Amino acid sequence: MKIVDQLREGDKRAAAKLISMIEDDDPGATAALAEIFPHTGKAHIVGLTGPPGVGKSSLINRLVREYRERSKKVGVVAVDPTSPFTGGAVLGDRIRMADTGSDPGVFIRSMATRGHSGGLALATFDAVKVLDAYGMDIVFVETVGAGQSEVDIASRAHTTVVVQMPQSGDSVQALKAGILEIGDIYVVNKMDLGGGDTMASNLDFMLEERQGWRPPVVQTAALDGRGTKELADALTKHYRFLKRGPLWRGREADRARKELFESMRHLLAETFSDDTAGIGFEETVGAIVARKTDPRTAARKLLKGLKLPR
Amino acid sequence: MKIVDQLREGDKRAAAKLISMIEDDDPGATAALAEIFPHTGKAHIVGLTGPPGVGKSSLINRLVREYRERSKKVGVVAVDPTSPFTGGAVLGDRIRMADTGSDPGVFIRSMATRGHSGGLALATFDAVKVLDAYGMDIVFVETVGAGQSEVDIASRAHTTVVVQMPQSGDSVQALKAGILEIGDIYVVNKMDLGGGDTMASNLDFMLEERQGWRPPVVQTAALDGRGTKELADALTKHYRFLKRGPLWRGREADRARKELFESMRHLLAETFSDDTAGIGFEETVGAIVARKTDPRTAARKLLKGLKLPR
C-alpha cells in the first residue's frame, strides 16, 4: 500500500493518517497493519500510568526533549482523556509541548476514547505499531490509572512506569491496590512540592525484586526537569535487562498470545454485529434472556456455525 | 443431574460443591450450569465495591442479618482477596460473621482468585447463578476496587454499590477516577469516624441523574448497624426502578451479549490450549513473535480452521 510506503519513508502525515484510519475502523487499516507488522518490534514500548494531575504529560514532555538530545526518535500515544495532549488541561496547568510540528523525530498523538469496535487497548497498540514501523526508537503510552485499560496496557508495554506524587498523610494507604505489582520503574514526580523524599523511601521499602529486576524509584520534578536524565537512564537499563535476559522470549510470546485472542474477539464481534448475514446472534441473545438456552451452549453453537465475512 | 436436583431442593452442601466444581474447572460444572440456567434470573444481584479497609464485609454482614429479619434468603460471593470472608482480617478487625452454618437462608462464599481458566469474573457469576437457582432473593458480590474485575462485575450486577469512608483532606481528589460513573448507590461507611457528613454531601453534590436514576448517598456505620435499613431500602428501590422501568430489557440483553462473548472466549482458550489436536496455536504464536504473520491474519486463519472439541 502507498500509505505504508510513505510511512516507511518517514512521512509523518502518513503516520497521522494511518492512526486516524485505525480510530475510524477503516477497512484499509487492517490491510495496512498486516503490511506494517514485519517492520515492527524495534521500538522500546513504555507504558506510563498514574492518577490524573500527577504530571504524566509534563514528564513525557521532558523525556521527549531528553531523547531528542540523545538523537533518539520518540513517539507518544496518550490514552488519558484528561491529558493535556488531548487538549484538556489538568488543574489549569497548561504545558508547553515539545515542538512536534516540524521535527520528524517526534510524534505525539492522543487516541479518541470512543468509536473503534476493537476496544481502546487494541487501537492504542495498533497506533504504537504504526510509530514502531515509522522508525521510532521509543514509544510512550500515557494512560490514566483507571481500571481495565491500565492493566491491559501494562501487560503490553515492555516497561511500565508508575507515576505518583508526594501525598499528605499516610502515603502507603493512598496507593491504589495492585499498583506495587505492575511497575518496572516508579516515579515520584513533583518533588518540588515537598514530602517526596518520604514517599520515595516508603515506596522503595515496599518494592521487591521480581524475576531478577528490582524496580527503582526515580525522583523527578517535571517543572524544572530534575530527574529526567535519571529516568531515561532507568528506562534504557530496564530495556537492556529485558532484551539480554531470559524473560524476553516468554514475554514476547505472552504478548502475541494476548493479541491473537484480542484479534479473534474483534473478528467475532465484527462477524456477529452483522445480523443480516442470518447468523442469528441477536436471536440467541433473546433466547438467553428468556432462559431458553444458556450462554455456554449458545457460544458453542455460534462458534460451530461460524462463517467469517469476506 | 443429581447435584442440580439437590440444589433445587435446598441442599446447601450441593451449592457449596457446585461452586467448588466451577472453581476447579470440573467438566461436570458446564453441564450443571446449563441445567441450572432456566432456574436463574430471580435473584437481585448486587455488586459491592470499594477500596480495602473500607468495611465492605462488615457492611454485608449487617445486610445479611437485615435481610434475614425481612425473611429474605441472601447469598454472598466475595472476590476481594483481603476480605475477612476469605479469612484475611483487615486492619486486625475481625468481624463476627452472621451464622451461616445452620441457616439454609444464608450462603457465604469466597472465590479463589486463581485456578479457573475462564477468568475470575466468569467463575464468580457462575457461582452467583448457583445461588440464584438455589433460591436466594438477593446475592451480594463483594469485590475490591482494583481494575478489570471491578468494572466487569459492575457491568454484570443489577445494582452496583460503591462504598467509601470519610477521608482527611480533600475527599474529592481522593476518589478514584471513574468511580462516579459506576455506582447506583453510594455508601459512606464508618460514619463514626467523623468527617462523613462532608464526604457524603460532597459526593451527593457530584452525582448526577443517569437514565432516570439519581444515585443516593447512604451513610452507614457497620460497627453499630446505623444506616443498614436505609441501605436495604435503597437496594429494593433501585431493583424496583429497574424491573418496572424501560431499562430492564436492554440491560438483560447487554448482560447476555457480554456473557456470550465471554463464553466464546473461554471456549476458544480451551480449544487452543490443547495443542496436541494439531491446531498449531503455539506455532502461530511463534510466527507472530518472528513477525512472519500478523495477529489479525493469524486470528482469521485460526477461526476459519476451528474445530471445537467434543
Domain boundaries, chain B: 2-245, 255-304
- With bands split at pLDDT 50, 70 and 90, how would you rate the model's confidence at B180? confident
- With bands split at pLDDT 50, 70 and 90, how would you rate the model's confidence at A92? very low
Q: What is the mean pLDDT of residues B221-242?
A: 94
CATH class of A41-245: alpha beta
The one-character DSSP state at A84 is G
C-alpha pair distances (Å), A270 with each of A33, A264, B54: 17, 10, 41
Q: Contact at 8 Å (CB) between A188 and A161?
A: no
The three cell numbers locating residue B101: 452454618
Q: In terms of pLDDT, which residue wins out, A274 or B181?
A: B181
Q: In terms of pLDDT, which residue wins out, B95 or A97?
A: A97
Contact at CB, A177 and B52, closer than 8 angstroms = yes
Residue B117 to residue B234: CA distance in whole angstroms: 36
A260 neighbourhood in chain B, CB within 8 Å: 284-285, 288, 295, 298-299, 302
- With bands split at pLDDT 50, 70 and 90, how would you rate the model's confidence at A131? very high
Q: Which pLDDT does position B89 carry in this prediction?
A: 37
pLDDT of residue A282 exceeding 70: yes
- With bands split at pLDDT 50, 70 and 90, how would you rate the model's confidence at A61? very high
Cross-strand pairs, A139: A45, A75
pLDDT of residue A6 exceeding 90: yes
- With bands split at pLDDT 50, 70 and 90, how would you rate the model's confidence at A275? low
Q: Contact at 8 Å (CB) between A7 and A101?
A: no
Distance from CA of A101 to the nearest CA of B (A): 31
Q: Which pLDDT does position B71 carry in this prediction?
A: 96
Taking phi first (over 0 means left), then psi (-120 to 50 degrees means alpha), and beta for anything else, what does residue A26 get? beta
What's the mean per-residue pLDDT of chain B? 83
Q: Which pLDDT does position A87 carry in this prediction?
A: 46
Contact at CB, A263 and B298, closer than 8 angstroms = yes
Write the pLDDT tens digit of every residue in B102-137. 788 999 988 865 544 456 777 888 999 999 999 999
A269 neighbourhood in chain B, CB within 8 Å: 261
Distance from CA of A306 to the nearest CA of B (A): 8
For A252, the closest chain B residue by CA position comes to: B289
Q: What is the mean pLDDT of residues B3-22?
A: 94
B125 neighbourhood in chain A, CB within 8 Å: none
- With bands split at pLDDT 50, 70 and 90, how would you rate the model's confidence at B247? confident
For B168, the closest chain A residue by CA position comes to: A169
Contact at CB, B262 and A295, closer than 8 angstroms = yes
Q: Which pLDDT does position B243 carry in this prediction?
A: 93
pLDDT of residue A278 exceeding 80: no
C-alpha pair distances (Å), A207 with each of A182, A230, B64, B82: 11, 19, 38, 19
pLDDT of residue B188 exceeding 80: yes
Distance from CA of B4 to the nearest CA of A (A): 15
Q: Which pLDDT does position B270 carry in this prediction?
A: 80
**C-alpha radius of gyration, chain B, whole number:** 21
Residue B224 to residue A229: CA distance in whole angstroms: 54
pLDDT of residue B80 exceeding 70: no
- With bands split at pLDDT 50, 70 and 90, how would you rate the model's confidence at A310? low
For B169, the closest chain A residue by CA position comes to: A168
Q: Which pLDDT does position B258 carry in this prediction?
A: 85
- With bands split at pLDDT 50, 70 and 90, how would you rate the model's confidence at B215? very high
Q: What is the mean pLDDT of residues B218-243?
A: 95
CATH class of B2-245: alpha beta
Q: Which pLDDT does position A195 carry in this prediction?
A: 80
pLDDT of residue A270 exceeding 70: yes
The single residue listed with the C-alpha cell 521509543 is A138
Host H or E run for residue B172: helix B171-174
- ipTM comes to 0.78
Q: What is the mean pLDDT of residues B73-95?
A: 58
User: How large a percentage of chain B has pLDDT more than 90?
Assistant: 43
User: Does residue B61 sit in helix, strand or coil?
Assistant: helix
pLDDT of residue A117 exceeding 60: no
Distance from CA of A65 to the nearest CA of B (A): 29
Host H or E run for residue A110: strand A106-110
Contact at CB, A300 and B267, closer than 8 angstroms = yes
Q: Which pLDDT does position A268 carry in this prediction?
A: 87
The single residue listed with the C-alpha cell 529486576 is A213
Q: Which pLDDT does position A83 carry in this prediction?
A: 52
Contact at CB, B37 and A294, closer than 8 angstroms = yes
